[in-house]
Amino acid sequence: MLFRLLLAVHLAVWLINPEALGIMGSANQLHKSLLFAAGVTFLMTRRVDRVVLLMIALIIGATAVSAFVTAFPDFGMGRYLKSAFSLLSILLLLAGKPTLEDRNFLLRLLAWAPIACVGIGAVYNVVGIHPLFAVDFLSVNRLQGSNIPSGLGSICYVGAIAAVLASAYLDRRYLFVCGANMAILTLCAARMPFAMAALVSIVAFYTYHARTLGKAYLATYALIILGAAGAIVAGQGILDRFESDNNSGRDMIWQALDSVRRQYPLFGIGLGHQIEVVPDEVIELTKTIAAHNEYLRLALETGYFGVVTIVALFVGIFVYMFLTRPLARTTLFVTMVASFFIYCLTDNVISSNVSLFALVMASFISIRPVSERPRVPVHMRPQRVRPSPPMWSRPSYQRR
């Protein structure tokens, strides 16, 4: 129960967005602390997969090796420890085996999160705290809810996946929630999360709800019609952004970070230090200091040694699940995991506080959960044996 409560508090803090309210400058460490507490509670109260836990420990160990041998003059141990803690906090949830209540709670929580984000954002907009829409690098008016457009895109990515999974495990009507989340994702115009959420949702839909040829045929036409209707409703500005090959300034960030990476190729500059080497003029133009490419960030911060080791171990966790868990040997599981690693090419996904839940959901559906409620044995109700009537009350033919 405590594990699920911590998850709910973490997501509630993310949705409320204390930064928009002016409560704190950055809530990132609060998010990571809540995730870490949820992960520790999860492992203490559930069965632990020791192989996955060992791989997580080796990932953190690889970052430590890179940090201790880096030649970067501005390396700071405090920044490294803070970043290592953040990385550990988002990985712990992969090492436990959930109960049935854990899985169902997580699917419900994530499925409704995008709608809650837009609802809270609408309230903030009315009272003048935070605008519901934002104009981006391409001058497109994008829905952002209570966060920012890319943040709303991340929560919609996991929310759409959670909703289509919930339609199979909980209630078929969650397909409507999935549709609402995809509509929100369209309006926030987050291109990569939209593509990955659509891919996983379609695979899940055909896996659970269109198994026969007739159903698949009708479902295909229905999806085409819904897609066309969504494109009409979205408007030309949103469509132009989806069709644009502009990287919204990411190419400037990538070029700047790659030039620094070449100076420290083997062990990098230390985990968490990427934000210190982004030039001020690039920050001014792009309005961000994030790398928007997790592979480039890891290569910069941990070098060739770190990025190869970390990515190999990270992927290895899910290869291990695929090989050892029969429920993981599905197209859906592979698609969910692959979508996350493709998403890493253009966004800050590993360092995100919500995107990694796509992998957590993949882990949760890869194992058959056990209910927390103990089974009460059903005893046979003893049959009442009617006493024999006295001899004098029996009919004469029974007295003999």
Q: pLDDT value at position 66?
A: 94
Q: Quick check: is 13 in a domain?
A: yes
Instruction: Output the tens digit of pLDDT for each of the chain's 400 residues.
Output: 789 999 999 999 999 988 888 777 677 888 899 999 999 999 999 999 999 999 999 999 999 999 999 999 999 999 999 999 999 998 999 999 999 999 999 999 999 999 999 999 999 999 999 899 888 766 678 889 999 888 999 999 999 999 999 999 999 999 999 999 998 988 888 888 998 999 999 999 989 887 666 666 566 656 666 666 655 555 555 555 555 566 666 788 888 899 999 999 999 999 999 988 888 888 777 777 888 899 999 999 999 999 999 999 999 999 999 999 999 999 999 999 999 999 999 888 988 889 999 999 999 999 988 887 765 555 545 555 555 555 554 544 444 4
Is 3 a member of any domain?
Answer: yes
* pLDDT confidence of residue 231: 57
Is 72 within a domain?
no
What pLDDT shows up at residue 241?
A: 57
Structural domain contains residue 24:
yes
In a domain, 50, yes or no: no
**Of 248, 238, 13, 17, residue with least CA distance to 125:** 17
Q: Which residues contact 164 (CB under 8 A, 6 or more apart)?
A: 174, 175, 178, 200, 201, 204, 205, 208
Closest CA to 356 of 161, 205, 167: 161
Q: Is residue 10 part of a domain?
A: yes
Q: Which amino acid makes up residue 383?
A: Q
Establish if 372 belongs to a structural domain. no
**What is the spatial distance between Cα 349 and Cα 341, in angstroms, rounded to a whole number?**
9
Cβ(103)–Cβ(365) below 8 Å: yes
Residue 21 lies in a domain: yes
Which pLDDT value is given to residue 188?
A: 86
Structure tokens at 202: 């379609």
Output the pTM of the full model.
Answer: 0.87
pLDDT at 319: 96
Q: What's the confidence (pLDDT) of residue 376?
A: 54
Which range of residues forms the domain containing residue 32?
1-45
- How many structural domains comprise the chain? 1
